[in-house]
Homo-oligomer: A and B are copies of this chain.
Amino acid sequence: MDQRKASNAKRGGAPTSADVARLAGVSQATISLVLNGRASKVRISEETRKRVISAAAQLGYTPNHAARSLRQRSTKIITFVLPTLENPYYSDIVSAAQIAAQQHGYAVSVIPARTKPGEFHALSLLQGAAFDGIVVAGRENCAAPELLQLAARGVAVVALQERSPDPSIYSVSVDLEAGGYLATRHLIELGHRRIAHVMEELPRPDTWRDRVDGYRRALAEAGLPLDPSLVVITENSMAGGCKAIEQLLLDRQRPTAAFMYNDQMAVGALHALRTHGLRVPDDFAVVGFDGLAMGQFTAPPLTTIDHPRRDIGRIVIETLIGAIEKGSLEVKQHLLPVKLLVRESCGGLEAPNQKP
């Protein structure tokens, strides 16, 4: 051990950053940069980084973030509250958000919060917790009173893919109604007349523009009736999509196409059709929603509505960091466009407008 100077650790107190700097033979600034995870940003070598960490471990030195965050009122952490980790939809957004956050010196964490009432209230856990901003998705979470309280306390909040529950809360969404319209219109243009829509149960009466509104608009525009027996509510999963299609196939006036709530449900739909010996797209056409990578690998590859998930992640972070650092921003609500991504599950690639 270094004997040159009496250290705080040797005097019996807790070791200090100066003690670690002496043992590692580097400056206190280097200690701070390494232990706060900023070594790679300022080109500190891997060898120095390891020496600092080893010295800190040897002395039992702890840079106390909890104390620091009380002092600085800044943690450089942005927390996502998501209803599920199971849908890759969110992982694409978080991944893009993480890249954008890193460029601004922020880190990202995720709290998975199931959103069925009474099951799990993630937001109540966040009261006073250590982060600078939160991104919240899921209807129950976005409607929680805790969200307003966080915003009132000055925490920067962005609602993701949900109507903002309060004008003071920022939101970043894609245009779900336009997506529903594009999906349904594509099927109509291919000659389909009985088009089903398989959707998730919406837990609160909602005037928000959702997929089903676009479905209605496209039908109305084409002069087609809205047959309520063709709108099926199911569980938001592959298995749910599978069950919904099986139900639709029992209909005496069987539909010839379905617009599915998301790509996961569409994977279940393709499976149900295959199991019943129906060929896609010849006997039955399917459109998904989201544009997940898996849609390239289904049998057949899935026509879907593509969301700009990378843009969503980036804009969420830019909005939050803007709000954190500038206090307030002009644009409160972002609504991003979607686009139709034509693959093989509708027959739209081969011969548009040829279907009877």
Contact = CB atoms under 8 A, between A and B. Distances in A.
B84 A91 contact: yes
A152 interface: yes
Contacts of A94: 85, 112
Residues of A contacting B: mostly:
helix
A62 interface: yes
B145 A50 contact: yes
A270 B300 CA distance: 12
Contact of A57 (B60, B122, B148): B148
Nearest to A79: B109
A33 to B, nearest CB: 10
Q: How many copies does the complex hold?
A: 2
Interface residues of A, number: 72
B86 A98 contact: no
Contacts of A268: 297
A271 B70 CA distance: 53
A129 interface: yes
A86 B86 contact: no
Given A107-B125, A118-B40, A125-B37, A53 B91 contact: no
A247 interface: no
Contacts of A36: 124-125, 127
A125 B108 CA distance: 10
A69 to B, nearest CB: 5
A152 B60 contact: yes
A65 interface: yes
Interface in A62-90: 62-70, 77, 79, 84-86, 88, 90
A130 interface: yes
A118 B37 CA distance: 11
Interface in A118-140: 118, 120-122, 124-125, 127-130
B130 A112 contact: no
A213 B297 CA distance: 29
Given A62-B128, A110-B110, 7 more contacts: A37-B127, A57-B152, A85-B88, A95-B112, A107-B122, A238-B297, A274-B299
